[in-house]
Structure 1
């Protein structure tokens, strides 16, 4: 959908103030821990673009709250697995040798959207140090959420996702659907004997750039849309319009618990 057609759905422009009021109406409150997945274009025209959206979120949860966003860098991975687009096999070793090491201060996100990309460098925002699956966070629990993220099981039981779970946080889907919900990857670790694959990434180790190889479970978000639809049939999800976007606010714990059982059945 074009920006013009989305603008036509708006009675008035989106602003920091109007978004703040709509976030409150959706159910965001002061002190809330929330992981946000977003599409800026789905909101329609925003006065101030992604900065206004971030400011409105901060206004809503306050300094006692915490905002988390994915800051993944999928291009910092082994080129042998690249499909969009693939690269010639003759390039693989060159890429492994030359890919810049992940630096949480400067490495841009990829495919996370304009809001998440702006958020990662926002004043007061911290970022975890995983070279592929990092998260950005701001607020009371930011340091606690980001302090540990192992190279293997980057979405697993000691990851930022698990910390959000322990803090009884929420998932905000802002103009996106369940297939964008990174929290569901946490549930994939409950599948016994989950297939693993070899991974590679460029990172800093003792101040030196290295190409690191490791094993990770095969994450698969292709079923997340179906999973989310089934969850909504029997569980509470708050739905509202934020600008022109459909937004959903979901407690993470019951969603992840449901996903663990749902995925186990699918993989029997």
Structure 2
């Protein structure tokens, strides 16, 4: 077994059994639904790569547990920060050419490039189910997968008709594995639960009755720019946030419901009411 990554003699890759044990030591419990955000680069080398990480997570959750990851696809939108960066400096002709070859969202095939290797490993797992939102889908493996991902309304990124609300209802936990609170998508559900929610227009490419189509809709203006501050305040509030080393990463584990409820109280006090958000799509 490899020695702990904070030890001076740590050299070899983490094995699957050690990773499972460290997840258990952090507090990951069998039978829970676990929304996971991760950086495998920060976690460090694991024998078997991302597949072994998925196996370790599932082993920690047991057969009654459900693993959930965000599988967002901002690449098929022209209102996302990803698109704005892609077209910066391009000529109008180059922009038109880029827009013409942007593929429509396909829940069975569209990769989740922006959410990391673990999300892609879960998305492509033969047992995984994926929600149908063209920009902010989730993938899940486990007994609750179908319940969590079904009914994700196309006009609702991350609100009451999304997997986040279902995760809230079932008492899910959140695992931040090598990433900070700025990656905690659960806080977005709070943006739908505060008064005077700012709205904005989103556009993306979808397939409608077999035809490639640009689609526009209005939804809450999502803004994750202050999520690190929300999370820091959440930890200071006395909420139960378990923190430990897993592999080479700092990991945090906490109740999704507690995090969302905290953010519902924090956002109206600390965020200007009509601040426009950069959005996710």
TM value normalised by structure 2: 0.88
Query: Does the C-alpha gap of structure 1 residues 198 and 56 become closer, same or farther in structure 2, counting only changes over 3 Å?
Result: same
Contact kept? 1:161, 1:186, Cα under 8 Å:
yes
Query: Does the C-alpha gap of structure 1 residues 79 and 156 become closer, same or farther in structure 2, counting only changes over 3 Å?
Result: closer
Unaligned runs of 5+ in 1: none
SS in 2 for 1:140: coil
Aligned counterpart, 2:276: none
Aligned counterpart, 2:86: 85
Query: Does the C-alpha gap of structure 1 residues 141 and 89 become closer, same or farther in structure 2, counting only changes over 3 Å?
Result: farther
1:197 and 1:93 mapped to 2: Cα distance?
23
The worse-fitting range, judged by mean Cα deviation, of 205-214 and 257-266 is: 205-214
The aligned length equals: 264
1:189 partnered with 2:192: yes
Query: Does the C-alpha gap of structure 1 residues 133 and 89 become closer, same or farther in structure 2, counting only changes over 3 Å?
Result: farther
SS in 2 for 1:111: helix
Contact kept? 1:68, 1:137, Cα under 8 Å:
yes
SS in 1 for 2:75: coil
Tell me the CA shift for residue 113 of structure 1.
1.2
1:112 partnered with 2:115: yes
1:80 and 1:124 mapped to 2: Cα distance?
30
SS in 2 for 1:101: coil
The worse-fitting range, judged by mean Cα deviation, of 60-69 and 166-175 is: 60-69
Tell me the CA shift for residue 50 of structure 1.
0.7
Tell me the CA shift for residue 205 of structure 1.
2.2
Aligned counterpart, 2:19: 19
Contact kept? 2:242, 2:252, Cα under 8 Å:
yes
Query: Does the C-alpha gap of structure 1 residues 147 and 8 become closer, same or farther in structure 2, counting only changes over 3 Å?
Result: farther
Tell me the CA shift for residue 78 of structure 1.
1.4
- When the two chains are superposed, the root-mean-square deviation of aligned CA atoms in Å is 2.1
Aligned counterpart, 1:143: 146
TM value normalised by structure 1: 0.92
Query: Does the C-alpha gap of structure 1 residues 188 and 80 become closer, same or farther in structure 2, counting only changes over 3 Å?
Result: closer
Aligned counterpart, 1:210: 213
Q: Which residue of 218, 223, 234 maps to 1:220?
A: 223
1:256 partnered with 2:260: yes
The worse-fitting range, judged by mean Cα deviation, of 221-230 and 206-215 is: 206-215
Aligned counterpart, 2:31: 31
Unaligned runs of 5+ in 2: 274-281
